[in-house]
Structure formats: C-alpha cells, structure tokens
Amino acid sequence: MDLSLTRVLCAIYEAGSVSRAADALCLSQPAVSHALGRLRREVADPLFVRTATGVVPTPRASQLYLRFRDAIRLVDQAIEEIKVFDPRSSARRFRLAMSDIGVMVFLPPILRYLQAEAPDAAIDVRQIAVPELLRALEIAQIDLALGNLPDLQAHTQHTQLFTERYVCVLREGHTSIRDTLSLEMFREARHVAVVSPFSGHKMVEDVLMQEGVIRHVVLETPHFTSVPDIIAQTDLIVTVPSRVAELFAVTHGLRSLPLPLAGPSFVVRMHWHGRSHADQGHSWMRDVVTRLLSSL
C-alpha cells in the first residue's frame, strides 16, 4: 500500500471533512478524494460516510486512525531528529491565524525580518472564527494563532507577547471633544463598533455592560481596516487597543484619549499545538514572533 495514504486518512479523520483535510495537507480536494478512493479499495471499507456537515468515520476508519496516527508520529519524530532548519535557505510557508488588527500591527515587522533573514520563507494569513481556532491548530490547518484568545489557554502551548489596554480614537478638530473625555461625553458621543468573529475583542463590550455604560453606536463594521478613514472624516469615535491607536496616529493623523472608566487590560499571546513544539522550523518562527512582537 502507498503509505502516503495513511496521512490522508488521518487528515480526514481529524478534520471531519475532505475539503478541510485537503487544506491541512496542502493538496487539492480532488487529489484527496482520489487518495480516499484508493484507500477504500485497499481496505475494502467506505471508511467515511457523508453527513450534512462533513464526514464521519466508520468503525474500521477509527481503528486504522489510531494505528496510523502513532506510526506517523514516529516517522515525523525520526525525520525531525535529523533535519536541520536553515532559515536562509528554507522555503517553508508558515500559516498564522490573526484578525485584521494583527495583519496591520503584527505582520509588517515579521515580514521585514523574513525579508532580511529568511528571504525564501513565506507567510499565509488565515482568518478563522475564534471558536474554530483550537480545531484548526489540532488538524494543522494553522501553525500559530496570535491575539487575545483566553479560551485557548487551557488547550494549547502558548507564550505571552505583551499586555494591552483600550483607548478611544478620534480625529483632530473633533467638534465636541477636546483634550479630555468624560464619561458623559463618552455616553453622548457617536461610536463605531467593530464586531467580528475573527477577533477576541469582545471584552470591552462586557466591561461597558457591567458598568452600565450604553454607547450610541451609529456604525457596526466587521473590519478594523476601514475604521481610520471613517474616523478621520467624521465626528465618530472608536475604542481600540493602544497599539492600533498608535498606528492610526501615524497613518491617518488621529489622536487617542484614555477611556473615561476603568477599562480592561488584556494579554496578547501566541498559541500552538503541542505536536509542533519540537519542530525546528516551528520553534524558529515562534522565537521570531516572540522577539519582534514583545518589543512593539
């Protein structure tokens, strides 16, 4: 039997979907479907049955998965023990999950470093809904998840990058807010709210609710990238992490003021799956991300 088929079975089993398995294996969906057909003929079993949301394994597939998974781990471990990762010559693609905030703030220093130290390495940015991130790490759809993601802590390897706080951002020349922002001004102001399944920034909403502060939200948008242009041309204000506010000040000439209440701080972390911990390339990228983003 073609032993590469063992990886196909494990990928489909873990992903619960042929298309998601193809993504994890960096193969096309037809290629994975063809491999599954070969494997079905080899073991004389359907292995997976279609459902409304993907596929479920047969008892034979579950039995094979346990054996195949252990065998693949032994092979991968043996390869990693003799393989030396050289960033200068590696063409590896690292898959990072982050929100559009991360793309704006995290990605530029990482890409500048790769340009100088690992010119053939590449980054694939994936936007994955927060509840699906753990599964994406488990099935190797992504290598790292970056952000304010406290729900992942109990299930992943992780390291702290920095502690962050929220501030209010507004344009120079705002008609009613000058150098200070009182709670009354905050209540009466017209707000932009960013509501995205890919971001972990729901904390500020929870704190405002606990404090009984109801904002006058006149715009909801799923993307932070559209916000600075809107703020620069209106009297709307937005609550964002301080590092994002610093970026908006440089790119759009916006200014920031402290929140008029005890705003929450939060920790930005990098998360990864335990299976990748000993991988030399993965370890190198984790070190790069930690060094670059900890100094932001």
pLDDT in tens, 29-68: 999 999 999 999 999 999 999 998 899 999 999 999 999 9
Residue where one domain finishes, among candidates 82, 110, 135? 82
pLDDT score, position 278:
83
278-290 burial: b if 16+ Cβ within 10 Å, else e: ebebbebbbebbe
Q: Are residues 134 and 54 both part of a single domain? A: no
CB count within 10 Å of CB 276 equals 18
Q: Are residues 59 and 191 both part of a single domain? A: no
pLDDT score, position 275:
85
Q: Are residues 146 and 72 both part of a single domain? A: no
Q: Are residues 103 and 247 both part of a single domain? A: yes
Q: Is the pLDDT of residue 81 over 70?
A: no
* 3 state DSSP class of 158: strand
Residue where one domain finishes, among candidates 46, 62, 82? 82
Q: Are residues 20 and 129 both part of a single domain? A: no
pLDDT top residue among 203 and 217: 217
DSSP for residue 216: E
Domain count, the chain: 2
Domain that includes residue 166, residue range? 91-296
- CATH code for the domain of 31: 1.10.10.10
CB count within 10 Å of CB 149 equals 23
Q: Are residues 38 and 145 both part of a single domain? A: no
CB count within 10 Å of CB 219 equals 15
pLDDT, tens digit, for every residue of 211-229? Answer: 788 889 999 998 889 999 9
pLDDT above 90 covers a percentage of the chain that reads 72
- φ, ψ at 238 (rounded to 5°): -140, 145
pLDDT score, position 141:
87
pLDDT score, position 200:
66
* 3 state DSSP class of 185: helix
pLDDT tier, 196 (very low <50, low <70, confident <90, very high otherwise): confident
pLDDT top residue among 278 and 155: 155
pLDDT score, position 197:
77
- CA pair distance 128, 122, nearest whole angstrom: 19
Average pLDDT, the chain: 91
Q: Are residues 67 and 10 both part of a single domain? A: yes
- CATH code for the domain of 178: 3.40.190.290
- CA pair distance 38, 42, nearest whole angstrom: 6
Kindly tell me the sign of the dihedral angle through the C-alpha atoms of 153, 156, 162, 164: negative
Q: Are residues 106 and 77 both part of a single domain? A: no
- CA pair distance 239, 246, nearest whole angstrom: 13
Q: Are residues 156 and 78 both part of a single domain? A: no
pLDDT tier, 203 (very low <50, low <70, confident <90, very high otherwise): low
Q: Are residues 111 and 252 both part of a single domain? A: yes
- CA pair distance 7, 71, nearest whole angstrom: 10
Kindly tell me the sign of the dihedral angle through the C-alpha atoms of 21, 25, 27, 31: negative
Give the position of tokens 């290598």: 143
Contacts of 129 (CB under 8 A, 6+ apart): 197, 198
Q: Are residues 111 and 190 both part of a single domain? A: yes
Contact 187, 215 (CB under 8 A): yes
Q: What is the mean pLDDT of residues 158-187?
A: 95
pLDDT score, position 261:
84
Q: Are residues 98 and 161 both part of a single domain? A: yes
Residue where one domain finishes, among candidates 30, 61, 82? 82
pLDDT score, position 263:
67
